[in-house]
Amino acid sequence: MKRQFADNELDTSLSRVDGNEKVSGAATYSAEYAVPGLVHAVLVTSNIAKGSITAIESREAETAPGVLAVISHLNAPAVPGWPALKQPAERAPVGTAFRVFYDAFIYFDGQPVAMVVADTQERAIHAAALVRVTYQQETHQTHFERNVKSAGIPQNVQRSKNSPFQDYGRGDADAIAEAEVRIEAEYTIPTQHHQPLEPHAIIAVWEANDKLTVYDKNQGVKSAQGQLAQAFKLPRDNVQVVSKYIGGAFGSGIRVWPHTIAAVMAAKQVKRPVKLVLGRDQMFTSVGYRPYTAQKLRIGASKDGRLHAMVHEGTGQTSMYEEHLERTVLATRAMYTCPNVSTRYRLLPLDVNTPTWMRGPGDATGMFALESAMDELAFALKMDPLEFRLKNYAETDPERNLPWSAKSLRECYKLGAEKFGWENRQIEPASIRRKGMLVGYGMASSLYGFHRHPSKARAVMRADGSVTVQSATMDIGPGTGTAMTRIAAKVLGLNAKKVKFELGHSNLPDAPGQNGSATIPSVGSAVHVACEALKSKLIALAVKMSEAGKSGGQVVVTDGQGVRNGRVFGSGADDEGVSFADILKYHKLNELEATEESKPGPERDQYSMFSFGCHFVEVHVNPLTGEVRVVRVVTCADVGAIINYKTARSQSIGGVVGGIGMALMEHSEMDHRFGRYVTTDFASYHIPVHADIPPIEVYYVDKPDVHVNPMGSKGLGEIAIVGVAGAVANAVFNATGKRIRTLPITPDKLI
């Protein structure tokens, strides 16, 4: 196995601090808490996509063995945060999150219509099958292409002049007609589902009717706490959310979903702790998805390869009751230097559940189209696609006319091209064959916005000099605890073994949820400043000791104090320092604590901040079967300073795997006669497995971005997937001469 980092970078990396717990089964996931008196809920879901419930026959279910309750809109406990039902009831206006068991309306196939609570999960499943629901059915519309003419400007955008989703233009979009070389193409991405291996699950526990604890799979304990407190009209502190271990989420856990509210309702109704675990099939209609999206791109350049105009129009799918907006066309404004740019974004409401953010939302979708179009135009120009991108490299942000806080994309391109051997690429498609396979090389750029939110962290040193750092942040898989441990250990000059990081509980210091690749920039900064504050306190106490002559003269008062190996040092050359434990002991302290908040400042208005990257991909295509194998990937990123190489590399690999899934496999197929997904298991919804994934080489520029935060680190999670699907499609074109503009690139499209 080739090593992509210098030995010391990997050797000084921390392995996952919770790795042992995870692989040994000791880690407790949301559905695994042994709460006394626990009972089980199972959802009954609609089998029509539009209409209303006319009757629910539940007597047989209610009298089945072990059943405690059958809950539906007919008898559900009130959710006090929801408006009283209008009489006569009307369909929810656009902008209303779906309210479970609220009224008789059906908005999508798979909508929860009832819930059975029983003493065992098996009995609940059995009784759920006995509930008979009758409907008055209405004609549904779920087919994107057939309805795309009904797409319009989102209401949200109509209301907000400053929305980034407003139509955008710089220069003159009509200038496309004058471009010497131009292409026009349409790209389509089907609906895709996150499908983390751990299904969404919750245990809801009421105490004395006004205190609620949930063990819930989500991506933000504080945000879930706020949403639940609001729904059930409770003081925030009366709601506690515990989400210590998450088996993947990819965006599916950013919101509180209807099944969460349903479980809390059930626990209230039966006055027992209730567990609800979604079935794999229910994961397709309960926790959002990447929306079906169609994009049209027209881009043109001068003969020497300078971009002249880009026109990017995107239309995404949403539900009838809620608008979900994505950055689909936004990257096109900032990625390349181009004088004439116009973008337009539209939404198409259908009788489906609401989509949500998934793995580089919008950007992964938009950059598939943009980077495919760039490849198409490079081919029309007979120019190397990398050279074409370099020719249009944006030295400043062409959208906001601001300097980048830092941008080393050029170094990424260079590093990636060298490591990959890009110079061996042939411009003419289908010109390399190896062992009967068509060989293709493709590349694409990547960018992802920088997100930093106010965050708090608390650092507590114990009498023995060890430190616990706490923040209500999350780890949905990237290794948050490991990275935070690394930050704290570095600031405090402590061995990482002496640092413990606690996350995933709403009673910890306030932090944002884990999304938008914002955790290191936000929470990492809070951990950094909290540990800096603790360090200052330690040094001040050491100085007092020194002044009292109690440090053996080892700490110099005047200057140069610092920390190393668990000791405070002065500036003297033969200074032996004084240990943290001795400082606390001398001052008779059991512990020393610092809590700090960190937030972004005016730099946001002075600089344009992005993570950048690029991917190089080699594919082999079987000319007889059309099967595409990705055989090699080199991915490079410029995300500022790397905190911990081992977990960073693992995140980059994960992103690329997601990109390969998006490019070649993932596709939620619907039977439009019923408005129902039919690919609702892993036999039919394909995600990459080990056999599908080649060696992935990961490289970083690893240069701190001094403007973004104290560590100089930007987000890493999503930059790794954005662009990958484009790079794969471009490699497939290079291998076969066939341009596939509709994902996934399955064999039927190539033969």
Query: Does 361 participate in binding ligand MOS (rule CB under 6 A)?
Result: yes
At closest approach, how far in Å is the CB of 350 from ligand MOS? 21
Q: Which 205-244 positions form the footprint of ligand MOS (CB under 6 A)?
A: 219
| Stretch of 15-23, 354-362, 404-412, 526-534 contacting ligand MOS, by CB under 6 A | 354-362
Q: How far is the CB of 660 from ligand MOS (least distance, A)?
A: 17
Residue 516 in contact with ligand MOS, rule: CB under 6 A: yes
Under a CB-based contact definition with an 8 Å cutoff, are residues 440 and 727 in contact?
Answer: no
Q: In this structure, how many other beta carbons lie within 10 angstroms of the beta carbon of residue 86? A: 8
311-350 footprint of ligand MOS as x/- string (CB under 6 A): ----------------------------------------
Nearer to ligand MOS, 219 or 546 (CB): 219
Q: Which residue in 358, 496, 664, 725 binds ligand MOS (CB under 6 A)? A: 358
Question: Cβ-count burial of 354 within 10 angstroms (0-12 exposed, 13-18 middle, 19+ buried)?
Answer: buried
Whether residue 718 lies in the annotated active site: yes
Single-letter amino acid, residue 318: T
Residue 394 is classified by DSSP as: -
* Burial zone of 25 (CB within 10 Å; 0-12 exposed, 13-18 middle, 19+ buried): exposed
Interactions with ligand MOS, residue window 614-633 (CB under 6 A)? none
Of 28-36, 352-360, 439-447, 641-649, which segment contacts ligand MOS by CB under 6 A? 352-360
Give the 3-state secondary structure of residue 57: strand
Among 190, 251, 316, 362, binds ligand MOS (CB under 6 A): 251
Distance in angstroms (rounded) separating the CA atoms of residues 86 and 470: 45
Measured CA to CA, the distance from residue 362 to residue 515 in angstroms comes to 14
655 binding ligand MOS? (CB under 6 A): no
Binding of ligand MOS at residue 521 (CB under 6 A)?
no
State the nearest-atom distance from the C-beta of 359 to ligand MOS, in Å: 6
Nearer to ligand MOS, 332 or 517 (CB): 517
Residue indicated by tokens 């809390």: 264
Q: Which is nearer to ligand MOS, 509 or 655 (CB)?
A: 655
Closest CA to 379 of 329, 431, 312: 431
Of the pair 480, 730, the CB lying nearest ligand MOS is at 480
Nearer to ligand MOS, 112 or 717 (CB): 717
User: Residue type at 335?
Assistant: M
Pick the piece of the chain touching ligand MOS (CB under 6 A) from 248-256, 332-340, 560-568, 584-592.
Answer: 248-256
Measured CA to CA, the distance from residue 648 to residue 13 in angstroms comes to 10
**Tokens describing residue 406:** 């830092």
In angstroms, give the least distance from the CB of 722 to ligand MOS: 11
Rounded to whole angstroms, the Cα distance separating 563 from 46 reads 62
Q: Does 101 bind ligand MOS (CB under 6 A)?
A: no
Whether omega before 744 lies within 30 degrees of 0, making that bond cis, reads: yes
The binder of ligand MOS chosen from 111, 191, 282, 515 (CB under 6 A): 515
The answer to whether 448 touches 719, Cβ cutoff 8 Å, is yes
CB of 486 to ligand MOS, least distance (A): 22
Q: Whose structure tokens read 């009838």?
A: 320
Q: Residue with CB nearest ligand MOS?
A: 251
DSSP 641: S
State which residue, 318 or 515, has the beta carbon closest to ligand MOS. Answer: 515
Query: Binding residue for ligand MOS (CB under 6 A) from 357, 616, 699, 733?
Result: 357
Q: Which is nearer to ligand MOS, 361 or 465 (CB)?
A: 361
State which of residues 359, 391, 453, 486 lies at the interface with ligand MOS (CB under 6 A).
359
Say how many residues touch ligand MOS, by CB under 6 A: 10
Q: DSSP label at 719? A: T
Q: Is 431 exposed, middle or buried (0-12, 13-18, 19+ CB in 10 A)?
A: middle
Q: What is the DSSP string of 601-636?
A: -THHHH-B-EEEEEEEEEEEE-TTT--EEEEEEEEE
Query: How near is the Cβ of 279 to ligand MOS at its closest, in Å?
Result: 22
Q: Are 295 and 281 in contact (CB under 8 A)?
A: no
Q: Does 366 bind ligand MOS (CB under 6 A)?
A: no
Quote the least distance from Cβ 289 to ligand MOS, whole Å: 11
Preceding omega of 88 cis (within 30 degrees of 0): yes
**Residue 254: CB minimum distance to ligand MOS, A:** 6
Q: Which amino acid is at 746?
A: T
Smallest distance from the beta carbon of 186 to ligand MOS, in angstroms?
25
Closer CB to ligand MOS, residue 482 or residue 515? 515
Phi and psi of 210, rounded to 5°? -135, 10
Q: Is 32 helix (H, G, I), strand (E, B) or coil?
A: helix
Minimum CB separation from ligand MOS for residue 411, in Å? 26
Residue 301 or 503: the one with the smaller Cβ distance to ligand MOS is 503
Examine residue 719 and tell whether it contacts ligand MOS (CB under 6 A): no
The b/e string for 458-487 (b: 16+ C-beta within 10 A; e otherwise) is bbbbbeebbbbbbbbbbbbbbbbbbbbbbb
Question: Is position 293 an interface residue for ligand MOS (rule: CB under 6 A)?
Answer: no
Give 218 or 598: the residue with its C-beta nearer to ligand MOS.
218
User: With respect to ligand MOS, which residue has the nearer C-beta, 251 or 640?
Assistant: 251
Helix 645-664 vs helix 363-381: crossing angle, to nearest 10:
70
The C-alpha atoms of residue 216 and residue 276 are separated, in whole angstroms, by: 10
Name the residue nearer to ligand MOS (CB basis): 13 or 365: 365
Contact 450, 715 (CB under 8 A): yes
By CB under 6 A, which span of 125-133, 229-237, 249-257, 591-599 interacts with ligand MOS? Answer: 249-257
3-class secondary-structure state, position 332: helix
Supply the minimum distance, in Å, between the C-beta of residue 443 and ligand MOS: 24
Report which of 652, 646, 667, 671 is spatially closest to residue 723, judged by C-alpha positions. Answer: 652
Interacting span for ligand MOS (CB under 6 A) from 105-113, 172-180, 358-366, 432-440: 358-366
Which residue is associated with the tokens 């921390």?
14
d(CA 751, CA 745): 11
- Segment interacting with ligand MOS, rule: CB under 6 A, options 238-246, 355-363, 462-470, 617-625: 355-363
Q: How far, in Å, are 17, 29, 128, 516, 742 from residue 245 at the CA level?
A: 12, 5, 29, 19, 36
- Given the residues 371, 376, 697, 718, select the one marked as catalytic: 718
Strands 578-579 and 696-700, bridge-based pairing: unpaired
493 phi and psi angles, rounded to 5 deg: 60, 45
What's at 172, amino acid-wise?
Answer: D
For the bound state, the minimum distance from the C-beta of residue 364 to ligand MOS, rounded and expressed in Å, comes to 9
Are 618 and 630 in contact by the 8 Å Cβ rule? The answer is yes
Which x/- pattern, by CB under 6 A, does the window 479-498 give for ligand MOS?
Answer: --------------------
The least distance separating ligand MOS from the CB of residue 362, rounded to whole angstroms, comes to 9
Q: Is 198 exposed, middle or buried (0-12, 13-18, 19+ CB in 10 A)?
A: middle
Q: Which is nearer to ligand MOS, 13 or 353 (CB)?
A: 353
Chain contacts with ligand MOS (rule: CB under 6 A) = 219, 250-251, 254, 357-359, 361, 515-516
The residues that are catalytic are 718
